[in-house]
Each structure stands twice: as structure tokens, then as C-alpha cells.
Amino acid sequence: MSDRLSVLKTYKLYVGGKFPRSESGRVYEVTDSKDRWLANAPLASRKDARDAVVAARKAFGGWSGATAYNRGQILYRVAEMLEGRRDQFVAEVADAEGCSKAKAAAQVDAAIDRWVWYAGWSDKVAQIAGGANPVAGPYFNMSAPEPTGVVAVLAPQESSFLGLVSVVAPAIVTGNTVVVVAAQDAPLPALSLAEVLATSDLPGGVVNLLSGRTAELGAPLAAHQDVNAIDLAGADAGLAKDLETAAADNLKRVLRPGAVDWSAAPGTERLLSFLETKTVWHPMGV
């Protein structure tokens, strides 16, 4: 009988392509559905949230300027990496949500497929969100979608992995960068996803992952003047109202929470939610 001690995993935040501990040094216990200890997760602070916004803004220029084809290839690479670590994520999702391995496997498979689905939209979204516009005059008038900027994302509290992927992938495939607050009670699949993102050619700072109290981290992100939009998927009604009020201070785009079946076909709503339209006029014959 082996007396070897297992090596416990140390979970960290993911900010700017690096894996820092919370600047506060705080952690909190993550337990399974039967209240058994799983791990200590970093309890991110407001300072961590501000650092994540700085990293996201720094990465925005390069990521939004990359070709749509390149972004699609990188999202597909994320799916490839997840496929290779499928068993690990099945075990983490099963522990996090107290579901059977079969249900966890179905969620992980759907999350992998969702990365592929959004990767395929990278060079097609402009065709449904832009176009040539008829005008009464000797001009060409064309509209094209552009990314909004830095998006704060409160990940869904339920469906901790599939829901997370379903809010992150559509935001970044169109050129936005994101600061994500993982599900408060089930952050471990999200923190493990950071390890996949870090080895999948995704530039540092495009996705920044924080774990901790949703309300504590949501407040500074909603009020931050350098955050351009916020997805409130993981906020309850009361918190969502407060955060939307805070977001109005600098006219952020706000995607309100609602009942979502994360296992259903995603459609294009989130894909189009964080895009702006640039319209160009040009005289004919010049």
C-alpha cells in the first residue's frame, strides 16, 4: 500500500496572462453539494478587479485588430485543448454541481462544441451585422460591426462550466476583451479553464478570470470608467438593478440577466450584444 501524499492543486486568479494570488491574500473554501471540502479558491478583491481591467484594456488593441480568421483559429484551439483535458473537467463539473458523471460529461462536451460554434462565427458575424445601405445621393454608405471594448462578465451561478463558456466565447470572438467573475460557489472549473486559455495561443489579457464574491467584484466593475459593457448573467434581480444603476454613470452597454437554458442552441443574441456599428460614407466615382 502506497503512503504517497497526493499533490493538492493551488488555484489562482488569471490576470494579464499570468496566475497571481489575490493581492489581499484571502481565500475561501469551495465545497461540493454534500458540503465536503474541494479546494481553497482565491477571494479576489476590488484591487484585483481593477488590475484585471487594466490588463483587458492593454490587450484590446491587439485582439480587436487581429483578423477574424485568426480569432476563430484561436477559439478552435481552445476547444482542442479542452478535448484533451475532458476527463479533468468532467470530474470538476461533477464535484462542483453535485451531478452524475454522465451529466457532467454532457455539459463539458456541449462547452467544447460551443467554442467550435463561436469560432465558426468569427468571420461571418460582419455579414449579418453590417452591410451596404441605400441612400438618396451619389454616395456609398456602408456599415460594419466593431467590438465595444472591455466587457465585464458575471458568469452564471448555475451551469458553472457550460454557462461560463456561453458568456465568454461570444464576447471575445468579435474582438472584445473580458474580465470574468466566476460562479461564486463553483469557481473551480473556471479557474481550470484559465490553464487551457494560457496554453491555447490566446493573448494574455484577452480573458481575465476572478473568483470570489459576485457582489463584491461586480460593484467596482460596473462603476469602472474604463469598462465599456457588462453582462449581468450571474447577478440576481436585486444585485442586477444596483449594478445597472452604477453602469449608467458612463453609459455602459448592459446585458440584463434572465432565465436561460444554457444547453439550448445559443443563437446570435450574445454574439451581437457587444458590438458597435461604424458607418462610412464615400462619394461615388472617387
CATH number of the domain encompassing residue 151 = 3.40.605.10
- Residue type for position 224: H
Between residues 129 and 191, the one the model is more confident about: 191
Look up the domain containing 190 and give its range.
27-283
Domain count, the chain: 1
Residue 13 falls inside a structural domain: no
CA dihedral angle for residue 118, residue 169, residue 227, residue 268, rounded to 10 degrees: 40
Rounded to a whole number, what is the distance in angstroms from the first to the last CA of the chain?
83
Residue 14 falls inside a structural domain: no
| Local confidence band at 148 (pLDDT 50, 70, 90 cut-offs) | very high
Of residues 277, 276, 74, 252, the one with CA closest to residue 173: 74
pTM for the model stands at 0.93
Is it the case that residue 98 has pLDDT exceeding 60? yes
The string of pLDDT tens digits covering residues 13-52 is 999 999 999 999 999 999 988 889 999 999 999 999 999 9
To the nearest whole number, what is the mean pLDDT of the chain? 93
**Predicted local distance difference test score (pLDDT) of residue 286:** 57
- Strands 229-231 and 27-31 turn out to be unpaired
**Predicted local distance difference test score (pLDDT) of residue 1:** 56
Is it the case that residue 209 has pLDDT exceeding 60? yes
Residue 253 falls inside a structural domain: yes
